[in-house]
Structure 1
Amino acid sequence: MGYVVDRWHLSRPPAGAPECGEHKGKVASAAHGKGKRWQSRYDGPDGKERTALWRTLAEAQNEITKQEGSKLTGSWIDPDRGKTKVETVVFNIWLPATATIERTKREYRGVMKRYLIPEWGSREIRSIRPSEAGAWQNLLTTKYELSGTTPNRTARLVRSVFTLAVLDRMIPISPFAGVKAPTLVEPQIDPPDVEIARRIVGEAHHDRWAVMTELDALTGLRSGEIRGLCVDKLNLLHRTLDVHRQLVYEAGKGQYFDGLKTGAGRRTIPLNQRAVDLLAQYIAKYPPPTAGEFAGLVFTMPGGKPIGESTLDSAFKAMCRKAGVKPYRWHDLRHHYASVLIAGGENPKVVSKRLGHKDVAFTMRIYAHLFAEAEEQTRSVLDAAWAAPGDTQTKPAEFSRSTGRIPESRPRKGALTQVNA
């Protein structure tokens, strides 16, 4: 339980000590008349003692009552930690607590250094106001000229810093609470269809690029995932491919194997027979290296060296030019894979799992228009299935404007009729 201390007077004065001339019956301390007189003291939930100075005894007692009550209700806020600088919170508290791989943490560090620290780095985290939070988000597009999905992604990272500060009892509420995040502008996905994908594959000047392109269209792997594909992750007998790591590049370190960003990225992809045949024939013709850092790597450059992302992109763009199609990105093959699954009737949860997305909502946000097209396909299938014999096309039911009901009509021969019980 907390208590209040009178700083200006000794609680246990020595015998014979002179009485305070200002306060009868008290013995003055060395702090008499200096600063605020009353000090509230209480233990926080972590067992550490907190203190605060007040002008009057009533103010100090009210502070004790407030803090003890907040501990009981679970709403207690550490007054000292709220003084922590934003930069310290970001790099010493938030970043180490982020559940992701080290490479991604380095990316996050760069984002914070570019867009947050120059604005608020030296500020106490408790000092940021909602109006400032909204103004900072506007700077992402005005001052820093970010566009597309980047403003939303950047804002979400910064907002998560303040969310953690709330959970850590540093501030009572995030300044972003009630402030709408930047609109997430997802680019319209227009992947190549099967015919175009085949044309692109046909323009490859080496088996390596042809097989990688077709395999990616059949599996939806990310660039780092297909470049980092090793034979130990293939089970051609059961026709599956395990995605557990990727090939990445880092300045000063070169290319190396690294884990996936999220647990959802770890997945097993079913292979169709075409993909199995492609892999079997390619591995037989171009055996993977058997020793060294990249032993078992399926797709390599001459000498067993790994393929760089820019090298793969360059080869793919050259294939697109020769095929006479628009300059697709390698990632568009991943969108192609998703579009084929959707058109084939796969539900969003399965598509999300195959792509290694963190949640179905993310998948729906990217491919919403493709799912809409799939819905129309469902309608066409139902129309065709329920068409009467001899119909050349089906017509939608016409509603009566006066009654709002489907007009009654004589049943066609062979149609179902209602039977009264």
Structure 2
Amino acid sequence: MGYVVDRWHLARPPEGAPECGEHKGKVASKVHGQGKRWQARYLDPTGQERTSLWRTKPEAEKEILKQESAKLDGSWVDPDRGKTKVEQVVFDIWLPATSTIERTKREYRGVMNRYLIPEWGDREVRSIRPSEAGAWQNLLTTKYELSGSTPNRTARLVRSVFRIAVIDRMIPFSPFDGIKSPTLVLPQIDPPDIDTVRRIIGEAHHDRWAAMAELDALTGLRSGEIRGLRTDNLRLLHRALDVHQQLVYEPGSGLYLDKLKTGAGRRTVPLNQRAVDLLAAYIAKYPPPGSGPWAGLIFTMPEGTPIGESTLDWAFKAMCRKAGARKYRWHDLRHHYASVLIAGGENPKVVSKRLGHTDVAFTMRVYAHLFAEAEEQTRSVLDAAWAVPAQTRGEGGRQAAAPESSQPTGREPESRAAKPSLVQLNA
């Protein structure tokens, strides 16, 4: 429990000390008459003693009660840490606490240096008001001219800085509490259908681009994941592909293999037989490097070096142009994979897992319209299956049975013969 100290008078005066001329029965201390008289003392949740000065004793006692109560209900805030500058909170507290890879932390540091530090970097974290938080979010679109999903993602990062300040007892609440986040604007996904993907693959000017495009349509890998695919990621006998790394580029470091950003990204993707045959044929025709930094890398340039993202994008755009398709991005093959799973009735949670999304809610937001289309397709299938054929009435009012050929049999149509691979490769 805390206690109050009278700074102006000695608690244990020596014998024979002269009485204070202003306060009867008291012995003056060296600081008598200097500053505020009463000092509130208490232990914070870590056991460290805290002090504050007050003009009257009731004010000091009230402060003790306030702090002890806050300790009990968990709302205690460190009054000194609230003076910490926002820039220090970002780089010394928040950034080291983020559970992500170093490359992503560098991206976060860039976001903070561009949009937060110029506005609030030298402010005390406790000084930011909710009205200022709302005004800052508006600057993202007005002053910094961000668009699409970028304002929402940027605001989410900054809001997390103040959340950790609350958790660390630097401030009692975040200035963003009660302030609505910028609207998350997601682009309308309109992936190419299977016929379009086949046409695009058919216009590849090298087996490399055709194989990569077809494999991506069958697995939904990100660009960095398929470019960083190595033979030790493959388990062809089990018809599975383990995704746990990606090829990335960084100025000053060039291309290198790095682990994925999130745990959800590390996943196992089932391979159908078509994908297994494609990979086996491609590796047989173009053996991966056997040694060096790129040993085992499946898709490389002729000299055995990795493929840059811009090179892959250039090749894919050329394929789309020759196929007479619109200007699809490589990432649209990933959307195509998702659309095929959804149209086939795959569970949203499974779709999210196959794509390596952090949570299924994100998958539902991105592909909500495709799930809606899949639901309508389900209704159409059921309506067609349960449609009652035209009926006629015979003598005596009895219904005549519908012709046998028009009744639903419940049998599935015979599967069509498997089509040859889109990529003709020599073993």
Structures share fold, TM-score greater than 0.5: yes
**Aligned residue type for 2:343:** A
Instruction: Give the SS at the match of 1:186.
Output: coil
What do the CA deviations read for 1:93-112 (whole angstroms, capped 9, x no partner)? 11111111111111111111
Instruction: Give the SS at the match of 1:363.
Output: helix
What do the CA deviations read for 1:10-34 (whole angstroms, capped 9, x no partner)? 2222333332222122222222222
Per the alignment, do residues 295 and 321 of structure 1 end up closer, same or farther by CA in structure 2, a change over 3 Å counting?
same
Map of 1:325 onto structure 2: 325
1:388 aligns with 2:388: yes
What do the CA deviations read for 1:213-241 (whole angstroms, capped 9, x no partner)? 11001100000100000000101111100
Instruction: Give the SS at the match of 1:302.
Output: coil
Map of 2:377 onto structure 1: 377
CA–CA distance in structure 1, aligned partners of residues 46 and 254 of structure 2: 45
Instruction: Give the SS at the match of 2:5.
Output: strand
TM-score (norm 1): 0.92
Measured on the aligned residues, the alpha-carbon RMSD in Å equals 1.5
What do the CA deviations read for 1:303-348 (whole angstroms, capped 9, x no partner)? 2111111111111111111111111111111000000111111111
Map of 2:222 onto structure 1: 222
Written as runs of structure 1 = structure 2, the 5 A alignment for 1:291-370 is 291-370=291-370
Identity %: 81
| TM superposition shift of 1:413 | 5.7
CA–CA distance in structure 1, aligned partners of residues 283 and 32 of structure 2: 87
Written as runs of structure 1 = structure 2, the 5 A alignment for 1:91-170 is 91-170=91-170
Q: Tell me whether 8-17 or 358-367 shows the greater mean CA deviation.
A: 8-17
CA–CA distance in structure 1, aligned partners of residues 164 and 183 of structure 2: 22
CA–CA distance in structure 2, aligned partners of residues 15 and 289 of structure 1: 92
| TM superposition shift of 1:388 | 1.9
Map of 1:203 onto structure 2: 203
Runs (4+) of structure 1 exceeding 4 A deviation are 410-415
What do the CA deviations read for 1:241-294 (whole angstroms, capped 9, x no partner)? 000111111111111111111111111101111111110010001101111111
Map of 2:186 onto structure 1: 186
Map of 1:256 onto structure 2: 256
Per the alignment, do residues 281 and 27 of structure 1 end up closer, same or farther by CA in structure 2, a change over 3 Å counting?
same
Written as runs of structure 1 = structure 2, the 5 A alignment for 1:403-418 is none
Map of 2:270 onto structure 1: 270
Map of 1:71 onto structure 2: 71
**Aligned residue type for 1:386:** W
**Aligned residue type for 1:109:** R
| TM superposition shift of 1:390 | 4.9
| TM superposition shift of 1:411 | 11
Q: Which runs of 5+ in 1 are unaligned?
A: 392-409, 416-421
Instruction: Give the SS at the match of 1:325.
Output: coil
Map of 1:88 onto structure 2: 88
Per the alignment, do residues 18 and 232 of structure 1 end up closer, same or farther by CA in structure 2, a change over 3 Å counting?
same
Per the alignment, do residues 381 and 260 of structure 1 end up closer, same or farther by CA in structure 2, a change over 3 Å counting?
same
CA–CA distance in structure 1, aligned partners of residues 4 and 99 of structure 2: 43
CA–CA distance in structure 2, aligned partners of residues 412 and 289 of structure 1: 74
CA–CA distance in structure 1, aligned partners of residues 307 and 30 of structure 2: 75
- What is the number of residues matched between the two proteins? 397
TM-score (norm 2): 0.91
Q: Which runs of 5+ in 2 are unaligned?
A: 392-396, 403-427
Instruction: Give the SS at the match of 1:177.
Output: coil
**Aligned residue type for 2:349:** K
1:46 aligns with 2:52: no
